[in-house]
Amino acid sequence: MKLDLEPETHQMRDLVRDFARSKLNGAADPHPEQFRARWRAAADLGLTGCCAPVEHGGSGMGAADTAGVLEALGEGTGDTGFAFSVAAHLLACVTPLVHFGSEEQKRRWLPGLCSGELIAAHAVTEPEAGSDAMHLRTRAERVGDHYLITGVKAFITNAPVADIFIVQAATEPDGGVFGLTTFLVEAGTPGLGIGRPESKVGLHGSPMAEIHLDGCTVPVDHVLGVPGGGASVFTASMHWERTCLFAVYLGAMKRVIDSTVAYVRQREQFGTPIGAFQAVSHRVVDMLLRYEGARLLLYKAAHDLDQGAVDGVSAALAKIAVSEAAVQVGLDAIQLRGAQGVMHGEAEQMLRDCLPSRIFSGSNEIQRNNVARVLRLDRLERPAHGA
């Protein structure tokens, strides 16, 4: 496994980290204008299109380099929510358009998505269909040269600010995985409504809302991929998301581990830095161990993606490892700061930002199911005679 990033990626990581430290470290501001100003600044650095082809306005990066850039963003900014929004746009929206879009669709939308003019959201989850994402209630019915889409989508990242939505809907209600189709739906399309922004425990810099589709009228040339091919679009984009989006959390872990090391060296009790107590120092080493282990799994998954892996095992393992390490790092960072840890600040914010990571992109329980399925653990295999 070759883990070296391209030289240009190293340069971009430095630029992105510096930019995030200087421009993205104020408190998350949910105001749409402030969000868009941050978005444009991030786009000017190439963050919103780094894995799109150069001819469509991107930087043509593969998965490992994309992860490298997002890791630097997560390390530089304390606004993990904003970094999450950028990554969701990139991995669940730009990537499927790159891999499944027609030439006409790519020419039409990719330049704006890369330049920061357009923000995207990916709408799959519904109030009654979360983990069971292949059984959607949202229906799309073809009428002449249009589809009429009706349904509700819940917990949609970027929905309050999005210009374009990638929407999964059932075109064959009893068609199972072959019954879903993906649509590109522009904001302002008749029949599309956006709910009130949701308030969540962490990721405050990432706007989220429901979307309501009420006979939303979408031309047939807005189908992404082929009719009935929605599951493939969803699965491919989730492999990218489960790998590269979680690099944001690697960066956040690094930032918080560094500040925790500084804290335990500075905080004195019993006449000595608390880092001298074995219970403290071992906890710090365990933080590092979790972070480094998760980091290796993530870059292994990115490498596999760049080599064309399709079973999603390494992506699922990376997602589980990073999200569980991040939550534990958040808990440890709080514990090591004592009462200071539960005051509003970096450690408690880290924990709040990390809690959702075990749920989105397919919960960790579903990722374990996915890996178990590939291992065929439910198959009865009788030992051969004489064995």
Ligand X SMILES: Cc1cc2nc3c(=O)[nH]c(=O)nc-3n(C[C@H](O)[C@H](O)[C@H](O)COP(=O)(O)OP(=O)(O)OC[C@H]3O[C@@H](n4cnc5c(N)ncnc54)[C@H](O)[C@@H]3O)c2cc1C
| Interacting residues toward ligand X by CB under 6 A | 88, 121-125, 130-131, 155-157, 203, 356, 359-360, 362-363, 365-366, 369
Instruction: Determine which one of 126, 241, 346, 348 is catalytic.
Output: 241
Q: Which token pair is 332?
A: 């440890």
Q: How far is the CB of 56 from ligand X (least distance, A)?
A: 23
To the query of whether residue 381 is one of the catalytic residues in this protein, the response is no
Rounded Cα gap, residues 350 and 26, in angstroms: 15
Residues recorded for the chain: 387
Query: Residue 145 or 378: which CB sits closer to ligand X?
Result: 378
Q: What pairing do the DSSP bridges indicate for beta strands 268-269 and 223-224?
A: unpaired
Q: Is the CB of 80 or the CB of 189 nearer to ligand X?
A: 80
C-beta nearest to ligand X: residue? 130
Q: Whole-angstrom Cα distance, residue 316 to residue 312? A: 6
- Distance set, CA 181 to CA 6, 98, 184 (Å): 36, 17, 10
- Return all residues near 186 (Cβ < 8 A) that are at least 6 apart: 163, 164, 165
Closest CA to 314 of 296, 327, 328, 329: 296
- When the beta carbons of 211 and 301 are compared against ligand X, the nearer one is 211
Distances (CA, A) of 247 to 18, 116, 179, 320: 17, 21, 32, 12
In whole angstroms, give the CA distance from residue 71 to residue 291. 12
CB of 217 to ligand X, least distance (A): 21
What are the tokens at 130?
A: 């979360």
Q: Which DSSP category does 223 fall into?
A: E
What lies within 8 Å, CB to CB, of 131 at 6+ separation is 362, 363, 365, 366
Task: Tell me the closest approach of the beta carbon of residue 152 to ligand X, in angstroms.
Answer: 11
Minimum distance, C-beta of residue 214 to ligand X, in the bound complex (Å): 18
Task: List, in sequence order, the alpha helices (H) in 54-169.
Answer: 63-76, 80-89, 95-100, 103-115
Q: Which is nearer to ligand X, 199 or 272 (CB)?
A: 199
Question: Which C-beta is closer to ligand X: that of 65 or that of 126?
Answer: 126
Q: Report the residue number, 320 or 325, with the smaller CB distance to ligand X.
A: 320
Q: Minimum CB separation from ligand X for residue 128, in Å?
A: 8
Residue 253 to residues 178, 258, 376: CA-CA distances in angstroms? 39, 8, 34
Nearest distance in Å: CB 253, ligand X: 18
Q: Which residues are catalytic?
A: 241
